[in-house]
Amino acid sequence: MFSEIISGAMISGSLIIAIGAQNLFVLKQGLLKNHIFFVSAICFVCDFILMTIGVLGIGSFISSNPLITSILAILGALFLIWYGFCAFRSALQGTSSMQVASEDPQNNDLIKVVLSTLAVTLLNPHVYLDTVVIVGGIAGTLTNEQKLSFLIGAVCVSFIWFFGIGYGARLLTPLFKQKRMWIILDGLVGLVMFYIAYRLVLYVII
């Protein structure tokens, strides 16, 4: 049982910790103190649901249906291009650096933040690949009891990671009071978004 928990934690951690659109989004919201509890909670709950689907074997329908995955890829690419454009615009205007200096921790409307979090999480097909296909595929070799332990390990890492970078980002607030650091972060976000969008377009074409 313990070995399956560790295995689930290691697999989940290796997939989640890699720099990507979702992690950069959570980091930025943590720095801006924009409803970070809801941002972290949404990312965790989505991971929990998708990992559970994958471990139970229900996700095989999604991964084996080219039409569904292509639609998800197209929607994801469009969203990431738009988000990347916004990130570059923010870098040029320096708007993020002004927001982080605000005394009000709730800079953005909650509904807008929730919808943005759902979009950056669920419109990225890589999320389904990691949580449903890879995690679910590895769990498919286990017994039902082992699957539960594996799932516990996987979702625990997800919880620790998203709440960790969300609230831990505040430790970097003094550093990000410098406008230059926000330009670098926003530029990095834009590049990552465009790169992932490019990969999604290739996925649909090829």
- Residue 2: pLDDT over 50: yes
pTM of the predicted protein model: 0.77
Question: Residue 105 CB: number of other CB atoms within 10 A?
Answer: 11
The whole-chain average pLDDT of the chain stands at 83
User: When comparing pLDDT for 83 and 117, which is higher?
Assistant: 117
Q: Rounded distance, CA 22 to CA 122, Å?
A: 10
The predicted-structure confidence for 144-192, as pLDDT tens digits, reads as follows: 888 899 999 999 999 999 999 999 998 887 887 788 888 888 888 888 8
Q: Rounded distance, CA 199 to CA 206, Å?
A: 10
Domains: count for the chain: 1
Which span out of 80-94, 104-118, 148-162, 182-196 was modeled with the highest average pLDDT?
Answer: 148-162
Give me the long-range contacts of 111-116 (CB less than 8 A, separation at least 24). Answer: 113/29, 113/34, 113/35, 113/38, 113/39, 114/35, 114/38, 114/42, 116/25
**pLDDT more than 90, % of the chain:** 25
Question: Residue 188 CB: number of other CB atoms within 10 A?
Answer: 16
Domain residues for the domain of 74 are: 2-205
